[in-house]
Amino acid sequence: MDETHLTQLGREVRGFDSPEEAVLERVANPQADTLYLARFTVPEFTSLCPVTGQPDFAHIVIDYVPAEWLVESKALKLYLGSFRNHGAFHEDCTLRIARDLVAAMTPKWLRIGGYWYPRGGMPIDVFWQTGAPPEGLWLPDQGVPPYRGRG
């Protein structure tokens, strides 16, 4: 897939009912020769508990170092929205997002922080990265405080 095959950008798209149906699209990185970090912050991510069907809420922070491709942001937004009616545990949602992004754009490096709001009185935070960050990369803190009524 490349930028000549974008199916969502500049078009009306209803959204997707599940992550399996969603399409992560990518565009060429015009700064592929530069080491830099791109961040997506998703403060209102939602999915469903696979046991109770009740909504779960998270603050998701995605940091990545692009290589030849960037994730197209509208496609990412629609993809993340597709979890709204998807039942999965916090760990599964967080890691699926990261792995799907890696598969779609093959970044030099990616990390994700899934800061989940309490379920059963206990927040579950999930962290994953593809490996050590590239040498010389400025890596800011993800900016989400430990749970004390996050917000």
Is residue 89 a part of any domain in this protein?
yes
Q: 3-state DSSP call for residue 19?
A: coil
Is residue 123 a part of any domain in this protein?
yes
Output the pLDDT for position 2.
47
Is residue 12 a part of any domain in this protein?
no
Q: CATH number for the domain including 42?
A: 3.30.1130.10
Phi and psi angles of residue 20, each rounded to the nearest 5 degrees, phi first:
-65, -30
Total structural domains within the chain: 1
Greatest Cα-to-Cα distance within the chain, rounded to the nearest angstrom = 47
Is residue 91 a part of any domain in this protein?
yes
Pairing of strands 69-71, 26-28: antiparallel
Catalytic residue set: 49, 56
> What distance in Å separates the CA atoms of residue 77 and residue 11, rounded to the nearest whole number?
14
CA separation, residue 53 to residues 83, 114, 137 (Å): 13, 19, 40
Is residue 140 a part of any domain in this protein?
no
pLDDT averaged per 10 residues, the chain (length 151)? 56 75 92 98 96 95 98 94 95 98 97 92 93 97 77 57
Is residue 79 a part of any domain in this protein?
yes
Is residue 70 a part of any domain in this protein?
yes
Predicted TM-score of the model (pTM):
0.89
Residues spanned by the domain of 40: 3-7+24-129
Choose among 135, 40, 49, 43: nearest CA to 88.
49
